[in-house]
Structure 1
Amino acid sequence: MNADTIALRRVTELNGATRQALADLYANVRADLLHLPNYKVSTFTERLDRHAAEPGWESVIAYAGDDPVGYAYANTVEPGNRWWARLESPAPEEYTSGPAVAIKEIGIVKPWRGQGIARQMHDHLMQARPELYATLFVNSKAGDGKVQALYAGWGYVVIGEQQPLSPDAPRLTCMGRRAANPS
């Protein structure tokens, strides 16, 4: 397995084949968590359908040959969007004064983790975005804190906290950064 052989494909419309590919990838990525209500595939596809109907939705799917090995997707959030409204305290104004890109999901199947593919997908997703700021939510306990540390390494900083409406959902940390690749 070599990250150099990965092909990234951008998708801007959620059709049946793309929806199924993302659902299958999600099930593979989250296989250890599917028994939890907030992580069921049906819960994911409900969120996916809602997110894909929002402005600026697009996805990047990573392929090793013909096999999908990762995905990321995002959409635009405007000032006043529920994305911001659920934070326990207001996010810094630079993030909420104009449109921002909200990264809703990033996932890599286990054999391909730790090779920089998530960063490749993230950066590919960000390349064509018009928004000035990017934001995402992370379960700070995911991977014993390694996922949040990974995002911090990409330039994201903590800008808020949220307890999702679903009682089964974990507490989330909101992180943000300038949308342009900071490297």
Structure 2
Amino acid sequence: MSLPDGIEFRHLDAAQARALRPVVEGIYRRSYVDAIASGDPFDSPEAFMHRFDSYSDPARGSVFAMVIAEADGHTVGQTWGWTLSPNAAWWKNFQPDKTVTDHRAFTEEDGVRTFALSEIMVCSEYTGRGLARALHDELLGSRPERRATLLVEPDNERAYRAYRSWGWSRVGVSKPGWPDAPTFDVLIHDLPPG
């Protein structure tokens, strides 16, 4: 599958991403059309942007990184995440699978070990053209951490299939503390040395 012609990537830090807040919301609205239409409060644009504001808040003390994809001067996709700081809330409600033999060692963060990949979204007119994988690789390929983690809804078969083919493995489940949050599968992926 080849990437559409003319795709360019822009790397952004938290301040740059926050300055593009309307663009971030626009990409979400053009990517999560069905989820928004479902009426699930967790998927509302307002709830999504509240989470974005929290994740990109410099006061959190974690390193936020974002990649935006553009084609012909228009934004067509985005991905972001952050480095998990010591005592990160990410692992607070984590229930490991049997593959995790030492829960404490697995979840103890030092501020440089794990990158939490929070979002990958591609505007509906660009789906199925390899852009999600390209965004994934662009962001994770720039990270110095040793591993990455993400959350995926167990019934999101399309995303799950993609993540598994990209080298991710399930390690347990978690229910984030956000209002109306579902229970997610937790995936992990080792990152190549930088």
Q: TM-score, normalised by structure 1?
A: 0.87
Q: What is the rounded CA distance, in whole Å, between the counterparts of 1:67 and 1:2 in structure 2? A: 16
CA offset digits 1:138-177 (Å, max 9, x no partner): 01212xx121110011110001101334563322011011
Which runs of 5 or more residues in structure 2 are unaligned?
none
Aligned alpha-carbon RMSD (Å)? 2.2
* 2:175 corresponds to: 163
Q: Which of 38, 45, 52 is matched with 1:41 structurally?
A: 45
DSSP-derived class of the 1:128 partner: coil
- 1:4 corresponds in structure 2 to 5
Alignment partner of 1:4: what SS? coil
- Give SS of 2:9's match: strand
CA shift for structure 1 position 94: 4.9
Aligned to 1:13: 14
Q: What letter matches 1:26 in structure 2? A: Y
Between the two proteins, what is the percent identity of the paired residues?
Answer: 26
| Deviation of the 1:127 alpha carbon | 2.3
Is 2:158 aligned against 1:154?
A: no
Provide the residue aligned with 2:55 in structure 1.
51
In structure 1, the residue matched to 2:32 is 30
Secondary structure at 1:155 match in 2: coil
Moved over 6 A (4+): none
Alignment correspondent of 2:134: 120
Structure 1 residues 167 and 21: CA distance shift in structure 2, 3 A: closer
Question: How many residues of Structure 1 are paired with residues of Structure 2 in the alignment?
Answer: 179
Say yes or no: does 1:89 pair with 2:96: yes
User: Structure 1 residues 79, 157: closer, same or farther in 2, change over 3 A?
Assistant: farther
Q: Find 2:155's aligned residue among 114, 132, 141.
A: 141
Instruction: Specify every segment of 5 or more residues in structure 1 that has no aligned partner in the other structure, as ranges.
Output: none
For residues 47 and 168 of structure 1, what CA distance do their matches in structure 2 show? 12
Aligned to 1:14, what secondary structure does the other structure show?
Answer: helix
2:144 is paired with a residue whose SS is coil
- 1:65 is matched with 72
CA contact 1:126–1:180 (8 Å) conserved in 2 = no
TM-score, with length taken from structure 2? 0.83
Q: Matches of 1:95 and 1:179 in 2, distance apart?
A: 17
Distance 2:161 2:108 in 1: 23
